[in-house]
Structure 1
Amino acid sequence: MNEIEYVADRLIKEASLLHVSDIHIVPRKDDAIVRFRLDGLLMEKEALTKEMCERLITHFKFLAGMDIGERRRPQSGAMEARHQEEIIHLRLSTLPTSYDESLVIRLLPQNFFIPRSQLSLFANATKTLLSLFRQPQGLIIFTGPTGSGKTSTLYTLLRICQYEWHRNVITLEDPVEKRIDNILQVQINEKAGITYTTGLKAVLRHDPDVIMIGEIRDAETAKIAVRSAMTGHLIATTMHTKNAVGAIYRLREFGIPLGDIEQTLLAVVAQRLVDLVCPFCGEHCSIFCRKYRSIRRAAVHELLYGNALSNAIQSVQTKEKTHHYYTLQHVIRKGVALGFLPAHLLYR
C-alpha cells in the first residue's frame, strides 16, 4: 500500500469510527485542509500539502469512476468501503475552486438502521409515526433541511412495514442511499428515461402496498403521488419546507386542488436532529467525548395530522390561522425543560 492509499484508507476508517457524516478536502492558497462533519458541526482534522491534496483527490476520483483528467467542471461519483465488517457507501462530489479542486465525501453506512426506540426523542411521537404507517392508503410528507435525518427515519419505518407487517414496499430514490434486503429500490436515471414520474407509473403496476418517493420536486410528480394515494396506496415522501404547514402551500404551488389534498394527505412530519445534553460535559460536549457516546443526537418531530391538519388546510384556503398544534419549538422547549436538550436550542 503506497502513501496515498494509506492516507485515503486512514481517513475513511477514522471517519467511520467517529460516525462522521461527511469528509471535506478543501484546497487553500499554500496547502489544503481536511475537515470532518460530526453531528452537524465541521471540525478541522489535519492539513495536507498541495501535492498530497491533488494526489488524494485524484485517487478518490479514480476509485469512484470519475474522470481524473477533468478538473474544470463539477463531477459526482460513488464507491464502497469496508470497515470492521461494515459496508460504507461513499458519495463523492468535486467542485472547482479558485485554488484547486475540492472534494466532499458523504458516508452512508449500509448496515446501520435506527432502532425503533430511537426514532424520536419522545415515545408518543414514535407511536404516532408507527400508527400513520399502518394506514392502508394516503400521503405522508416528511419535511426538513438537508441532514435532518428524514431519509434515515423513513428507512426504519419502511423496514418495519416490510419485515413486521409483511407489506410490499417499493422505493424511488435519487440516489439509493441504503440498500435494504426484500425491499424493491429503484434508482432514478433520467438519461435512461427513469424519472420520478415515469418510475412511479411503472411502480403502480407492480402491486405495491407502500411506495417511498425520495423527493417531490415538481408538479407532475406531486400530481401522480396524490393520485396514487387516492387509489389505495400508502405514499411516503420528502419535501423541503420550513415547517409542516409549508408542505400544504408547496402542494398548492404544484397545482394540487385543496380538495385532493384534504382527501389524501394523512400527515406532515417536520423533523430536526438536535444534540442531546452530554452526561459528562453538559451542554457543550467535547469532540473527544463524542467518540464514546453511542447516542449523541435525537430527532424531534412536528406532527401535523387529524383535526389540526384539517384546520391547517382550511387556513390555507381562508388565509386565516385557525390551526393549533405542537410545533418544533414547543417540542424543543419540552426537551429543554426535561433536561434532555441544551438550552441554547431555544434561541435558534
Structure 2
Amino acid sequence: MSIEKIADSLLSQALYYQATDIHVLPRSKDYLVQFRIHGILTSYKKIPIQMGERFISHLKFLASMDIGEKRKPQSGSLQAYFSGILTSLRISTLPTAKAKESIVIRILHHKKTLSHQKLSLFPKSIQILQNFMTQAHGLILFTGPTGSGKSTSMFSLADYCSKQLNRRVISLEDPVEQQNDHFVQVQVNEKAGMSFHNGLKAVLRHDPDVILIGEIRDAETAFIAIRAAMTGHLVLSTMHTRDAKGALYRLIEFGVKHHDLEQTLLAVTSQRLVKLRCPFCGFACSKYCIRSQVSKRTGVYELLHSRSLQAAMKELKGGELFSPPLSLPKLIAKGVALGYISDEEYEKWIIDEKNIDKRSRTIFY
C-alpha cells in the first residue's frame, strides 16, 4: 500500500473517532500512533519504523516543510479532503534524542465549526464577548492551556464579526490553522520577510475593522497587538496563561506599560473544556449512544471586563489582591451543582490544577 493511502486511512480513522490530535511517537523498534479523543490520549496502533518515517516525510511535504531538516522543530499547515470531508491540519515536528522526529497533527474539522452561541456552558459569557465585537478599538485576549479551545472561541467570534456585523477581518497567523472564506488570512513567513511587524504594517493599509493575531508569544508580538489596538482597531489574540489575571502579569513581563494596558485592554478570558452529562446515558456515555456524534465537551469561561478588569489592574500596581467573583473553580462547581458536570470531572480538574501548582509557582504556563 502506498504511503498516500496509508496517510489517508489514518487521518480518516482519526476523523471517524472525532480525534482532535494525532501523535506519532518514535520508539526504539517502532512508532506509536495515538489519538486524543474528547481530551483523552488513547493508543491507536503501532507502525514500523520505515513506515513511520515515510508518513512523517509525506506530511511535511504536503505542509510545505523542509523534508531534509530533521534537527530543528518545524511547523506547517495544510487543507485537504479526507473521506470526503474538508479538513485543516496543523502539523508540528520535534527532533528527539533517538535521532527521529516526533510529529503532532492538530485536526480542525470544517464541518464542526461551532456557532459562537454554542461555545459556553453558561451563555452569558459569550453574550458579553459578543457585545464587545461591536467595539471600534481595543484588545481582547483569550487565555488558557493548550487544547482549551482558545482558537475556536476567537475564530468563532471573528466569523460572527464578518458574517453578522459586516466588519472587515484580517488575521496574522503562524501558521494559518483553519482557512476561512469570510475574512483575509495572512501567513507569517520570517524567511520570506513577512514577520509579524511587517505583516501588521501591510494589514493596517488594508482598512481592517478587526485584526486577529494568532498568539502572543513574545515581547515583539505583544507590542504589535497593543499598537494595533491603539491605532483604532479591535484586536483579538490568544495567550498561554494560568488564568485571566495571569495575562496581565505576562504582558507586564513582556514590557508593556500599565497605562497602555489601561487604554487598550477591553476583556480577558480564561477557559477550560469540560465533559458534559449525556441526557440519555448519564456521565458514563456509551459509544453506541444516539448522541455519540454530538460534542460531549463545552467551554467554561472566567471573564475579566469592566469593573473586575479595573480591580485586577489595581492589583497589578500593588493594590489589594483581587479574586474574580466568577472564577474557573466556582464556575465548574456551579456546573456540578446544576448536574451538567460530574463530581469525578470536577475532582480531576482540581487535582490537575494542584499538580500544575506543584510544578510551577508562577501564575502562567
**Alignment CA distance shift 1:109-1:189 (3 Å):** same
- Aligned-pair distance for 1:144? 0.7
Q: Counterpart of 2:156?
A: 156
CA distance in 1, matches of 2:193, 2:2: 42
Residue 253 of structure 1: CA displacement? 1.5
Q: Please say which of residues 249-258 and 319-328 is displaced more in the overlay.
A: 319-328
Do the aligned partners of residues 76 and 143 (structure 1) sit closer, same or farther apart at CA in structure 2, a change above 3 Å counting? closer
Provide the rounded CA distance (Å) in 2 between the counterparts of 1:312 and 1:24.
38
Answer whether contact 1:315 1:322 (CA < 8 A) is retained.
yes
Task: Tell me: CA distance 1:286–1:99, structure 2 relative to 1, closer, same or farther (3 Å).
Answer: farther
Structure 2 unmatched runs, 5+: 351-365
The answer to whether the 8 A contact 2:196-2:224 is kept is no
Q: Partners in 2 of 1:99 and 1:242 — Cα distance?
A: 33
- 1:258 is matched with 258
The 3 A distance-change label for structure 1 pair 29 and 226 is closer
Task: Using the TM superposition, name which of 154-163 and 19-28 deviates more.
Answer: 19-28
**Cα-to-partner distance string for 1:247-280 (whole Å, 9 max, x where unaligned):** 1111211222222211211110111111112345
Taking only the aligned residue pairs, the percentage that are identical comes to: 49
Residue of structure 1 equivalent to 2:25: 26
What letter is aligned with 1:20?
A
Note if contact 1:150-1:238 (Cα within 8 Å) is conserved in structure 2. Answer: yes
Residue 308 of structure 2 is aligned to residue 308 of structure 1? yes
Q: Displacement of 1:244 after TM fit?
A: 0.6
2:35 matched to which residue of 1? 36
The amino acid across from 2:88 in the alignment is H
User: Aligned residue for 1:333?
Assistant: 333
Q: CA deviation at 1:217?
A: 2.4
> Which runs of 5 or more structure 1 residues have no equivalent in the other structure?
none
Partner of 2:198: 198
Quote how far apart the aligned CAs of 1:27 are: 2.9
Question: What amino acid does structure 2 have at the position aligned with 1:25?
Answer: V
Is the 1:15–1:36 contact (alpha carbons within 8 Å) kept by the matching residues of 2? Answer: yes
Distance 1:210 1:33, change over 3 A: same
Question: How big is the shift at 1:322?
Answer: 4.1
Deviations 1:67-122 (A, max 9, x none): 55555554444433313442112233333432744332222223432123312111
- Alignment partners' CA distance in 2, 1:68 and 1:214: 25
Aligned to 1:117: 117
**Counterpart of 1:166 in 2: which secondary structure?**
coil
Match of 1:103 in 2: 103
Whole-Å Cα distance in 2 between the matches of residues 38 and 291 of structure 1? 15
Asked if the contact 1:29–1:99 (Cα under 8 Å) also holds between the matched residues in 2, the reply is no
Q: Which amino acid aligns with 1:303?
A: L
RMSD: 2.4
- One-letter identity of the residue aligned with 2:78: M
Task: Find the aligned partners of 2:183 and 2:176 in 1 and give their Cα distance.
Answer: 12
Question: 2:93 is matched with which residue?
Answer: 94
TM-score using structure 2 length: 0.86
Q: Distance in 2 between matches of 1:291 and 1:15?
A: 18
Kept after mapping to 2: 8 A contact 1:315/1:323: no
Deviations 1:208-265 (A, max 9, x none): 1111111222323323322332332111111111111111111211222222211211
Relative to the length of structure 1, the TM-score reads 0.90
SS of the equivalent of 1:318 reads coil
Say if 2:77 and 2:176, in contact at 8 Å, map to a contact too. Answer: no
Q: CA deviation at 1:21?
A: 1.3
1:175-216 Cα distance to aligned partner (Å, 9 max, x none):
111111131111111112222222222222221111111122
What is the aligned partner in structure 2 of residue 342 from structure 1? 342
8 Å CA contact 1:18, 1:291 repeated in 2: no
Contact 2:88 2:179 survives alignment (8 Å): no
Instruction: Please give the residue correspondences for 1:156-195 in structure 2 after superposition, counting only pairs within 5 Å.
Output: 156-195=156-195
Number of equivalent positions: 347
In the alignment, the residues of structure 2 paired with residue 277 and residue 216 of structure 1 have an alpha-carbon distance, to the nearest angstrom, of 34
Amino acid in the other structure paired with 2:214? G
Q: Does 1:129 align with 2:90?
A: no
Q: Does 1:221 align with 2:221?
A: yes
Deviation, structure 1 residue 287: 5.8
